[in-house]
Copies of this chain bind each other. A is one copy, B any other.
Amino acid sequence: MKATLTNEIKKLDTYTWPTGFYSDGLHAGLKEEKKDMGWLYSEVPASAAGVYTTNQFQAAPTKLTKLTINVNHQLQAMIMNSANANSCTGPQGTKDAHMMQQLTAQKLNINNDLVGVASTGIIGEQMPMDKITEGIEQLELTKNANVTEAILTTDKHPKTISVQFKINDQTVTMSGFAKGSGMIHPNMATMLGFVTTDANVDGIELQQLLSSQVDETFNQITVDGDTSTNDMVVVMANGMASNQQLTSEHADYPVFVAAFHQVLGFLAKSIAEGGEGATKLVEANVMGALNHEEAQTVAKAIVGSNLVKAAIFGEDPNWGRLMGAIGQTNAHVDVEHVSVWFNDQIIVKNSQAAIFDEGVMKDSLKSNVVTIKVDLNNGDANGQAWGCDLTYQYVKINAAYHS
């Protein structure tokens, strides 16, 4: 299915806001120099859907956005900041998140319950509301992409993608941006992801689609196994492309799904690749599993193992650690007949060392992308996950981030 659909989805060279979407980003003084506040705005209320961290300590803005979207699956704006997560900030934090929502709504002259709030950064410090208030006052309605920078923390660069495709012969644009870096793990970690589109799509349908697609993309990445209190992926679809409303019954729905998968998949992989201190993207492809869930579990276990991650940093084909990672899951495995390939070169056959050219293997592991393929030899299901290597730089960043 994807092969044909991909032809119909055009990836744009530059980040492009869909029809009716405006945005801005600026330096409000939460960070020393870099941009730290931004927003999104749609000319008309948009269908909206969200997925949120599963961490029990959900931050005030995360809870508020969830509540807001759940009112009637609509949003018209999102206000965002980095440098301060407004998490573990008690009743004052809740009040501040509401104030951010209210100030934004007032400035845009829309209802409070059409405004989402997203924050990321240090946990446990109260929001500097004077700076936030001034930042909101200064934000404008532009077509610049400053907001994609304003949400970053230790990320090296913005993660953005824009695609176009046709629904009922109308051109639809879909654009996504995200922040990641550390604390990235299945179930939403410290990451923010936002997708805007001018497609006309039902809000409930959008929510179902988002939830299922997040399971295949954002929930299959890990940087360090740690989840955060602030994560969310929010989608806004404002309908200004004027296509006939999309539901799963619509003939062009598969194109929309494929585009959505492409956007979320790209952002998820970008987050894994841009993990704190990372030098390599690691992709695990598991086949021969009893079912998809088990294949996904094994793939995540591989990209999540510190020992595997450190070995890949060292460009060392240490497959014993890989077997350790596979074996510590509960997935069904034919323990005598597992095969493993590093960058398509076989290294394990029948759960033992295979014969391979060490020089060729060493060279191939110098690549920026390391693909690990595993055949569990126990069924027909496949799964995928993405991570990165574990480096000195990761330790350095995380030993020093707070102070």
Contact = CB atoms under 8 A, between A and B. Distances in A.
B226 A306 contact: yes
A316 interface: yes
B313 A399 contact: yes
A51 interface: no
B57 A324 contact: yes
A395 to B, nearest CB: 5
A306 B306 CA distance: 9
What is the copy number of this chain in the assembly? Answer: 2
Given A402-B311, A402-B316, A324 B227 contact: yes
Interface in A365-403: 390-392, 394-403
A399 B55 contact: no
A363 B363 CA distance: 46
B89 A306 contact: no
Nearest to A187: B328
Given A226-B307, A351-B88, A352-B89, A123 B328 contact: no
A226 B400 contact: no
Interface string A135-151: 00000000000000000
Contacts of A328: 54-56, 185, 187, 226-227
Given A55-B327, A227-B324, A327-B55, A391 B401 contact: no
Interface of A: 54-57, 85, 87-90, 122-125, 182-183, 185, 187, 224-229, 304-307, 310-311, 313-314, 316-321, 323-329, 333, 335-336, 348, 350-353, 390-392, 394-403
Give the 6 A-B CB pairs with smallest separation, nearest first: A123-B320, A314-B399, A310-B398, A57-B327, A56-B327, A55-B327
